[in-house]
Structure 1
Amino acid sequence: MQGPVQDRFGRDTSHLLDSTGVKSPEFATECIAAVEGLFGRSWLDGNEGQLGHRLQTLWRRKDWLATNELFGLGKTILELEKTHQQWLNSTAKKIKSGIKNAHGFITEILTCGSIKANTGKVSPAPGNQKGYDFAVDFSKRFQIFHIN
């Protein structure tokens, strides 16, 4: 019997296959590649910047839980880069700097990229915005703010 098949990152993503067939079998690897694209392989591998960052530690782990977490982060990155690439780049720079609230910025990416509204537009808060992380703007000037 053959063992698990590993992707180009040395991860078994078979548990992340879309059983509906809507997403390609490579989608999980594409999501992990989005993490690599945003943060850079060299930084993730610990070859530059502050060492020992929790995202670098997660990147080195190859277990199913770490793979799930990177998949989720990458999926939200793919969603956000369609319309918020500049915000993503700025947020990734803050995360990579190793500041104390880097975990909060990762959470902002996860939350903002996970929220959907059929008739509204989700937007991250502008840089240094106090009080909320993202807003959902609906037609007719109706807004919902996610308070931090």
Structure 2
Amino acid sequence: MFHLLDKAKNYVAEKFANVPKPEASVTNVAFTCVSLEGAEYLAKVSVKNPYSTPIPISEIDYSLKSNLWEIASGTIPDPGSLKANNTTMVDVPVKVPHNVLISLAKDIGADWDIDYQIDITLIIDLPVLGNFTIPLSHKGEFKLPTL
């Protein structure tokens, strides 16, 4: 009996290993505006859904770092769903407080830009399989305007 259950478990694991899964990539991170609370950035994430039905995104976690120092982080609960058999652009807004930007003055003074790394985790609710996590990381720099 144990041998039969082991075979069944291996069969199911093998079938699920070959199931196509959603894929994602960060396409752009851009400065959007300055408000009284701080600077706002927008990360655009392209997510491809290989299934013929829409799939809900449970949540998005993000962390924005500069010189390995976390300057902003957060969670976006229930941001929507992915279109069936299509690529969906998901917006991840990030707010950075002014006091954090001031502390980055050393990096800004050297080359008039802010080097950054954004880590984004998409948690997608796949039917039957359960939650599927897609970790993303993107590095770049924000060029600051000159006078």
Q: Same fold per TM (> 0.5)?
A: no
Q: TM (normalized to structure 1)?
A: 0.23
Structure with higher RCO (Cα < 8 A, 6+ apart):
2
Instruction: Name the structure where helix makes up a greater proportion of residues.
Output: 1
Q: TM (normalized to structure 2)?
A: 0.23
